[in-house]
Amino acid sequence: MKIVVLNGSPRPKGNTAALIAAFKEGCESSGHQVSVIPVGTMNIGGCRDCEYCHTKGGGTCVQKDDMEKVYPALAEAEMVVLASPVYYFGLTGQLQSAVSRFYAVGAPAAKKWALLLTSGSPDVYPAIEAQYRGILNFIQAKDLGIFEYDGKQVGTEAAFGEVRAFGASL
């Protein structure tokens, strides 16, 4: 299966990237194709609500930025993973901008989704979980797993092993 991971972290060698690497390893051990898109370091503006996409644009966005690399990957993906550090109880602004741009296409085609989060503190995930479940309900997609690691858990072999096993189980 084709899996697209959107990494919202601006740190290419950060905690989220390390977690994604373990997940990817597990996926690949089971023959899946994983494409990690570092939206946290890309030039992606937030949706402007100009409605170009739903009028003249025919489902394409008026903004010509790095989202042009994300849309084709999303169109092919059978599974989408949102991966992000928690920033003030939410996704990073970078990932939120990319998510807001889903608006142009209505809904990514993938019906299988997962969420990977890293944070400094424990119990800081409810707002993101609510958004994630709202998106899945809206697009009629299925959650395959939510993985959350705070500052004490992130970077441990236990965490890596868990997401690696998850990837391998898909």
Ligand X SMILES: Cc1cc2nc3c(=O)[nH]c(=O)nc-3n(C[C@H](O)[C@H](O)[C@H](O)COP(=O)(O)O)c2cc1C
For ligand X, give the closer residue by CB, 14 or 46. Answer: 14
Contact window for ligand X (CB under 6 A) among 11-19, 47-55, 65-73, 94-102: 11-19
- The interface mask with ligand X, positions 93-122, x = CB under 6 A, is -------------------------xxxx-
Matching residue, tokens 């944070």: 119
Q: What are φ and ψ of residue 11, in 5° steps? A: -105, 105
According to CB under 6 A, which residues from 31 to 60 bind ligand X?
Answer: none
DSSP assignments along 113-154, one per residue: EEEEEE-SSSS--HHHHHHHHHHHHHHT-EEEEEEEE-TTTT
124 makes contact with ligand X (CB under 6 A) = yes
Could you tell me which residues are beta bridge partners of residue 4? 35, 80
Are 158 and 15 contacting, i.e. CB atoms less than 8 angstroms apart?
Answer: no
Which residue blocks in the chain are alpha helix, DSSP H? Answer: 15-29, 67-76, 93-100, 126-139, 157-169
Q: Which of 87, 113, 147, 166 binds ligand X (CB under 6 A)?
A: 87
85 makes contact with ligand X (CB under 6 A) = yes
For ligand X, give the closer residue by CB, 110 or 154. Answer: 154
For ligand X, give the closer residue by CB, 141 or 149. Answer: 149
12 makes contact with ligand X (CB under 6 A) = no
Are 106 and 73 contacting, i.e. CB atoms less than 8 angstroms apart?
Answer: no
Residue numbers of the site for ligand X (CB under 6 A)?
Answer: 9, 11, 14-17, 85-89, 118-121, 124, 154
